[in-house]
Amino acid sequence: MGKMHLLSLDSEALGDFTAELGEPRYRSRQIREWMLRHFETDFERMTNLGKKLVEKLKETAEVSILTAKAMQVSKDGTRKWALATQDGHVFEMVLIPTENRRSLCVSSQIGCAMGCTFCRTATMGFIRNLTLGEILEQILLASRFLKETDGSRLSNVIFMGMGEPLHNLENVARACETLNAEDGFGIGKSHITVSTSGIVPRIREWAARAPDFKLAISLNGSNNDMRSSVMPVNRRWNIEALMDAADEYIHLTGQKLTFEYILIQGKTCTPEAARELRRIASQRNCKINLIPLNKGEDPALQPPSEEEILAFEAILKQGDFEVLRRRPRGPDILAACGQLAIPLKKVA
Ligand code: SF4
């Protein structure tokens, strides 16, 4: 039997685990505090646990199961880690520092099944879901890195790394709860965002399961032909079906929804597309995040010029909703939106 990955246990289950080791329940609270507040992974350094418990934990449990294979730093300060799992797969996470924020873009799956044409992760295909513990360990590793380098704390977590988070819904929901919990990482609900490609039934499920966290939907096309050409998911659930689910989500949760919209020259970034997008956004409580394409391998997909983006923005801004443009972070290390991918599937 392998060792228990303690990050995959919620407080209740961790209490049961320490009880099985013959320890009182308050010990689980101490362990949780070491992991989620001090980002400690070494039982020897959990100084208030007592020698006997430390020995038992070393035999039966572990806090860290991921191995950092590589870390790249962009000239804009963005950092990308390649993390290896115990079964030999590799996935990535990206830490994006700005003046007053420390945002972590986490992965929810290894690879992805959704096949979006502008996204390098799609080329990996779907390998497997990350476990709850593997998701939370990304937050622990980034938090520890910040603590040890500039003493700052993680302010935002976005599920926009590898994978479709709503295909790993329960683990992502539980991770969000631990991120937010007072005895967890203590990150505010409004600073935790999950981004979906538009799995309609799962949007409804998410609204019921985790209504307090932020949801972003990758729209990426203003009509069905356009969206289907970049996101195969649109052939299963078209824009009309997606907007029905979006409206239900807004109604049920009372939250403002974010639509992500990728700008591709001559395709999604045209004046007509801007007018169509304005029509969609004007009808609902939402904001639009514009993401100029980060160049991938497909020569047919090019980022628009600055003039084209400005013209697109000008049309959108005639609407009564918020429009933001996301500046690319870490494109020189392939850390920006749509650029995460691991060429090899298994490591030794
Ligand atoms: S954009 Fe997101 S949903 Fe689409 S293939 Fe990439 S990781 Fe998957």
Mean pLDDT lowest for which of 68-72, 164-168, 289-293, 339-343? Answer: 339-343
Q: What separation in Å is there between the alpha carbon of 200 and the centre of ligand 1?
A: 15
Closest ligand 1 atom to the C-alpha of 231?
Answer: 4
Which mutation among 92, 106, 110, 121 tests ligand 1's pocket best, with the greatest number of atoms within 8 A of CB?
Answer: 121
Beta strand pairing call for 61-62 and 67-73? unpaired
Q: Is 219 in the pocket of ligand 1 (CB under 6 A)?
A: no
Letter for the amino acid at 132?
Answer: L
**Known catalytic residue at 337:** yes
Entry pTM: 0.95
Q: What separation in Å is there between the alpha carbon of 115 and the centre of ligand 1?
A: 7
Q: Is 4 in the pocket of ligand 1 (CB under 6 A)?
A: no
Letter for the amino acid at 16?
Answer: D
Token pair belonging to 248: 């239900």
What are the tens digits of pLDDT across the range 107-127? 999 999 999 999 989 999 999
Q: Which of 23, 40, 92, 164 is catalytic?
A: 92
Ramachandran angles phi, psi of 257, nearest 5°: -95, 145
Does residue 19 register a pLDDT over 90? yes
What are the helix (H) ranges across the chain? Answer: 11-20, 26-36, 51-60, 132-149, 169-180, 200-209, 224-230, 233-236, 239-253, 271-282, 306-316
Token pair belonging to 118: 């502008």
Query: What was the pLDDT predicted at 1?
Result: 65
**Residue matched to tokens 């390098």:** 120
Q: What is the CA radius of gyration of the chain?
A: 21
Tell me the pLDDT band of 174, cut-offs 50, 70 and 90: very high
Closest ligand 1 atom to the C-alpha of 196?
Answer: 3
Token pair belonging to 314: 């000008």
Q: Is 114 in the pocket of ligand 1 (CB under 6 A)?
A: yes
Q: What separation in Å is there between the alpha carbon of 219 and the centre of ligand 1?
A: 12
**What 3-state DSSP class applies to 102?**
strand
Does residue 348 register a pLDDT over 50? no
**Known catalytic residue at 92:** yes
pLDDT average, residue stretch 192-215: 97
**What 3-state DSSP class applies to 49?**
coil
**What 3-state DSSP class applies to 291?**
strand
Length of the chain: 348
Query: What was the pLDDT predicted at 339?
Result: 82
pLDDT average, residue stretch 222-235: 97
Query: What was the pLDDT predicted at 216?
Result: 98
Q: Which of 119, 269, 286, 337 is catalytic?
A: 337
What are the tens digits of pLDDT across the range 272-308? 999 999 999 999 999 999 999 988 778 888 999 999 9
**What 3-state DSSP class applies to 46?**
coil
Does residue 89 register a pLDDT over 60? yes
Q: Is 175 in the pocket of ligand 1 (CB under 6 A)?
A: no
Which mutation among 94, 110, 112 tests ligand 1's pocket best, with the greatest number of atoms within 8 A of CB?
Answer: 112
Q: How far apart are CA 347 and CA 86, in angstroms?
A: 10
Q: What separation in Å is there between the alpha carbon of 218 and the centre of ligand 1?
A: 9
Q: Is 122 in the pocket of ligand 1 (CB under 6 A)?
A: yes
Protein residue with least CA distance to atom 6, ligand 1: 119
What are the tens digits of pLDDT across the range 319-347? 999 999 988 888 888 877 888 887 755 55
Token pair belonging to 46: 């959990």
Token pair belonging to 116: 């979006």
Q: Is 85 in the pocket of ligand 1 (CB under 6 A)?
A: no
Beta strand pairing call for 61-62 and 109-111? unpaired
What are the tens digits of pLDDT across the range 37-58? 999 999 999 999 999 999 999 9
Which residues touch 96 (CB under 8 Å, ≥6 apart)?
Answer: 78, 102, 103, 104, 105, 329, 330
Which residues touch 272 (CB under 8 Å, ≥6 apart)?
Answer: 222
Closest ligand 1 atom to the C-alpha of 112?
Answer: 8
Closest ligand 1 atom to the C-alpha of 164?
Answer: 3
Does residue 238 register a pLDDT over 80? yes
The residues facing 92 across adjacent strands are 82
Closest ligand 1 atom to the C-alpha of 120?
Answer: 6
Question: Burial of 342 by CB count in 10 Å (0-12 exposed, 13-18 middle, 19+ buried)?
Answer: buried
Q: Which domains does the chain possess?
A: 4-62 (1.10.150.530), 67-333 (3.20.20.70)
Quick one: what percent of the chain has pLDDT higher than 70? Answer: 98
